[in-house]
Each structure stands twice: as structure tokens, then as C-alpha cells.
Amino acid sequence: MKRYDVVILGGGAGGLTVASGAASLGAKVALIEKSDRLGGDCLHFGCVPSKALIEAANEINYSSVLSQYGFDVSGRATFSHVKERVKAAISTIQHHDSEDRFEKMGVDVFFGVGEFVDEHHYLLKDGQSLYGKRFVIATGSRPIVPPIKGIDNVQFETNETIFDLEDVPSKMIFIGGGPIGLELAQAFSRMGTETVVVDRSDDILSKEDGEIQQLATEFLQKDIDFILGVDVKEVKQEGATKTVIYEEQGVTKEISGDALFLGVGRAPNTDGFGLEEIGVKLDKRGHIQVNDKLQSSHSHIYGIGDTNGQFPFTHAAGMEGKLVVQNAVLGLGRKVSYKTFPWTTYTTPEIFHVGMTEEEAKDTGKEYHVYKSGLDDVDRFVAEHKTTGMVKIISDKKGYIIGAHAIGEGAGDWMQTVIFAMEQKKKVGDLSQMVYPYPNHAAAIQRAADQYWREKLFNGIVPKLTKKYIQWFR
């Protein structure tokens, strides 16, 4: 039997973060991955391939702009070329997540499945038994296949299969209007596919600030057809044609296409290896119930990433992985906080979110202030003819930032300054005091933050006092 200080289940972003951190601190570490390669869903089926696809789609879409300069551009995207771009990106990043790299760090890497024998022993199917002082469950999640009538008889795609398509579909129907579905629907639309999103909700991007949501919806409607507020009753297939039958206000309707994508959510990979059998508590959806130190009902077993149901993002798993290294290896007892946790929806334009929305701030019943700027007021965006979007910063009554939101080209990059300001407990006015090289995309933040000082200095009694001061002393 092999004995370890930390045994990690799952070789995705969270598991790799814990493995490298723990090994670097001198812990004896085992990393178990059920597939035959490290990197996890994000690298092979999620973030990396989808962003490579989005970039390729945008480049194809931008080619239409060439006609403005006298070029004659025609033809249809060849998906095999797009897939080559996707695979090249995965291959480059895979090198950093290779088995050899982690073994050189001192991590023992095992490929295969197994199960808990008890709360400290894990048995691999090949017969190897591992003892762990502490365990970290970082097994990720998988696409949910909803119990729709006929689904077992229809060929459908998920984020794990869509990159295996042979060609760009003529028409693709997306069941589910979450971020993954929206990103991919817009990308395929820009490659020439007619895309339709069908969702039971009355609107999309429901977690976003209301103004951002409205603007994003208006923009996405240029690329995607939406059928919202409906219940999907059945799916069927005849030949290559897939048909979705849905009910809208009591009326049965249907829509057909040559491809079907399921994007109704994800389920945690916490079943099949004995967690419940050893007493680890799960919620109704299968997520590991953890405390603010990311410990499960067994204090030496931690749950991070998609397994704990907090935020289903790669950067959440990475952040939680760093905290678990401090707690599991060093025993520091650090507590996780999501107050300044950001996310970006990588549609075009991008949608950035951190902290409270205005609706959430209003629900608190406390005083708050809003500072906004449209991108059409920012010279860099005007010069690039990419003025669709806005920045919105929300503060408490003292000026401390409690939320920030943006929609615009590259918003996920140039809004990072606001995250740092929130983490350092800076005020909105501090963002105005920075020097932004001209012309700069992040000047959108400055434009919004300038309003803080306009309210402080140019309204109320201050202008009256300065006027008297100038008259008397200047």
C-alpha cells in the first residue's frame, strides 16, 4: 500500500493546482485521473476549445468587413480547418499539463477509476491501494441530458462532442440558453449556421445586471433566433433532421434542423466512487456539501470546483485549489470568500460580472450609487468602430465598490482593474485617479469613475465654497 499526505481525485484545473502546490511544499502527493490525460474538461471540451472556436468564428465574421475596403470575399467556412485551430490550441496547453511535468514535481500520477474503501483508503480498479491523510475531490462535472421524450433516439451534441462535427451545420437548435449555449450558438452563427436557442426561461443571462442583460440580448439577437418561455415536450429524428416539439402558451409547435445541442446545465461527477458510502454528505443535485474552509462532512476530505456547486468556472477551481493547499497541507484554516469573484461570458461582445447587480443592491434596502459610461464615449472604441457596450460600477454610500459590470469588446480583460480595486478595498474615486494611457479601452472605467468626483466636487456646497475662495484669495 502506498501512503500519501494528499490524494487528489481529478486532473483538471483544481486538481492540478492542488497537486503542484502541495508537491512544491514537500507533501507526498498522488493524483488520480479517470481518463488517459490530464487537463480536465476545460482544456479538452470546455474553455480552451470553445474560445478557439469563438476566435475562429469571429475572424470568419470579420472577413465580411473586407468588402468595405474593396475586397470580394465569398465561400463557406470549412469546419475541418476550424478544428485544426482548436486542436492546435489544446495541444499547446496540454504540454503544460503533461504527466511528465507533474511527475518531475514529485507527484505520483495514476490513470484509471477506483473507489473509497473507507474514509482514508482508495482502491484503484487495477488493484493498487492508496492511503491518504487527506483527500481532495476535484472530479469536475458532465453535461446533463434532460429526460425529454425521445432523447434516447436522437443524435445530439454537447460540449464534449460538438468539436467532432464533420462540417458546419446548416441549422442548429440549442436546447438551453446558458452561457455555454449562447457562446457556441453565436460562434456557429458567425460561421454560417442558422442558430436557434430554445429555453424555458423568459429571458437569457438572468444572473447579469438588468441593463447589461438587456443590451446583451439586443446584440445577440442579431446572430441568434430565440424561442423563450417554452417547455420542450419531445425530440425526434428522421434521417439527418432533428425536430424539437415544444409548447408555447398552450399551443404545440415544432422546429427542425440538422443538428441539436443540449446545454441545460451540468451535473457534478461525485457518483460511482463511494463518497456517500463513507459518509460524505451530498446535496440533492449531488454536490459535496462543504464549509467555508472547503471541507466536507469529513474534515480531511475537501471538495473543490464543480463538485461543490459554488461557481462552475475553471478559475473558481483554481482559486479554491490554492486555498485547499494552505488548509490541507499547512493547516492554516483559511476561509473562502466569493465577494469579489468575477466571471465573463465570452460572447461577442464579452459580458463581465463581479459583485452585486443593481437589482441585488436595491434588494438590500441600503443606499447605493451607480456610475455608468457608454463605450461610445471612449475614443479607443470609437476609433475601432466597436462602440456597442457600457460600463456600470455600483458603490455603497461611502464609495466602496460592491459591484461592477460591463459589456464590450474584450471586457473580460480591461475590467480586471476593478477586481483589484475591490480586493484592495478601494473606492470608485480611486479608479478615476489612475492614469490611463491614451487611447485605452480601460478608459471606459475612468469615464464611469469620473462621475464620482463630479458628484462630490461639482454638486452641492463645494462649488459655492470654491467660488468664494477664488473671489477672495485668487
The predicted-structure confidence for 243-295, as pLDDT tens digits, reads as follows: 999 999 999 999 999 999 999 999 999 999 999 999 999 999 999 999 999 99
183 carries a ligand binding annotation? yes
Residue ranges covered by each domain of the chain: 2-38+98-143+267-329, 151-264, 342-458
106 carries a ligand binding annotation? no
321 carries a ligand binding annotation? no
| Mean pLDDT of all residues in 7-36 | 96
All 3 cell numbers of residue 361? Answer: 443592491
C-alpha distances in Å from residue 397, one per residue of 81, 367, 402, 447: 53, 6, 10, 20
Third-level CATH fold of 2-38+98-143+267-329: FAD/NAD(P)-binding domain (3.50.50)
3-state secondary structure of 401: strand
Least confident of 110-119, 159-168, 436-445: 159-168
141 carries a ligand binding annotation? yes
List the one residue out of 138, 143, 49, 82 whose CA is nearest residue 346.
49
pLDDT at 59: 81
pLDDT at 75: 62
462 confidence band (pLDDT: 50, 70, 90): low
**H-assigned helices in 209-313:** 210-220
**The CATH number of domain 342-458 is 3.30.390.30:** yes
178 carries a ligand binding annotation? yes
Q: Say whether 151-264 and 2-38+98-143+267-329 share the same fold.
A: yes
pLDDT at 454: 82
333 carries a ligand binding annotation? no
Average of per-residue pLDDT values in the chain: 92
Q: Which residues contact 72 (CB under 8 A, 6 or more apart)?
A: none
In single-letter form, the type of residue at position 464 comes to K
24 carries a ligand binding annotation? no
38 carries a ligand binding annotation? no
The size of the chain, in residues, is 474
419 carries a ligand binding annotation? no
The predicted-structure confidence for 158-197, as pLDDT tens digits, reads as follows: 998 998 898 999 999 999 999 999 999 999 999 999 999 9
Contact yes or no for 83/163 (Cβ under 8 A): yes
User: Residue 37 half-sphere exposure, CB side, CA atoms within 13 Å?
Assistant: 15
139 carries a ligand binding annotation? yes
356 confidence band (pLDDT: 50, 70, 90): very high
pLDDT at 92: 81
**H-assigned helices in 377-461:** 379-384, 411-414, 416-423, 428-433, 443-458
Q: Which CATH number fits domain 151-264: 3.90.226.10, 3.50.50.60, 3.40.190.10, 3.90.1150.170?
A: 3.50.50.60
388 carries a ligand binding annotation? no
274 carries a ligand binding annotation? no
Angle at 438 between CA 434 and CA 440, to 5 degrees: 80
412 carries a ligand binding annotation? no
